[in-house]
Amino acid sequence: MGEEMKKLLVLFCCLFFTACVHSKPPVARDAPNDNTAVLTLMNSIGDELGDFKRNECKTRDYETRAPGLGYSKRYETSLAPIFIDVYAFNMRIADLPDGIDSDQFASVYSQNLNVIKAFYKDEVHNVREERITYKGIEFKNAKLFISNRNNDDTELKPNRPLTIYNGTTLNVEELKSNLFLTIYNGVILKVRISYSPQKVTENTDKLITAFMEALAADITRMKK
């Protein structure tokens, strides 16, 4: 198992227990010991994005315990049960090229998507991928449909509530989860958006789009 995948699995464990494959591997040499670029990017992201506000109780510092894993912020809205987690990290990989077209990005994206699939296992029924741009920043977006029904949709698996990636549990039969990923200023920026299609309104897509546009606007105002 590669060092980068180990770091991602550590991140998964941190997320799960703090709830209150590959294309060419990334460059092996370490990034600078300080995490200035990661902090700068994360601090450039405001506490209110669209109709979402940051939940201070679910802001996480993974960097202190595991250098390279960075930080995360949780955003929620009173308009719908949509959970958004924003992560900034560099896995201590040097010279990460910006954008979504490099071999380094392909490897990081594959690893992150595989961690999600490993967590939900056979509950992942469909994955659709696309490129999407907000305020000039291009993301790769994976849309996952997750269900605790059997593949033939005939019955529910017993005692298997669906769990949001960072430990928040929803007592629902189905879950939609979006993974947005890009590299900006040498920092990996990941956005996980999870919600139940049974508990949201037809405005969900508009809420998510407004959030992503506000997020990208904050980042583009940051000095490079």
Residue % of the chain over a pLDDT of 90: 49
190-205 tens-digit pLDDT: 999 998 877 777 788 8
DSSP state string for 177-222: EEEEEEEETTEEEEEEEEE-TTS--TTHHHHHHHHHHHHHHHHHTS
Residue 210: CA atoms inside 13 Å, Cβ hemisphere, count? 13
Least confident of 49-53, 116-120, 130-134: 116-120
147-187 tens-digit pLDDT: 876 655 555 555 566 766 566 776 777 888 999 999 999 99
Higher pLDDT, 23 or 54: 54
Signed CA dihedral, 166, 22, 135, 97: sign only: positive
Are 109 and 77 in contact, with CB atoms under 8 Å apart? no
What's the whole-model pTM score?
0.81
126-137 tens-digit pLDDT: 899 999 999 999
- Partners of 156 in beta bridges: 149
Are 101 and 24 in contact, with CB atoms under 8 Å apart? no
Least confident of 54-58, 97-101, 117-121: 117-121
7-34 tens-digit pLDDT: 555 554 444 333 333 333 333 344 456 6
Are 160 and 170 in contact, with CB atoms under 8 Å apart? no
pLDDT reading at 35 higher than 70: yes
**Whole-angstrom Cα distance, residue 219 to residue 16?**
27
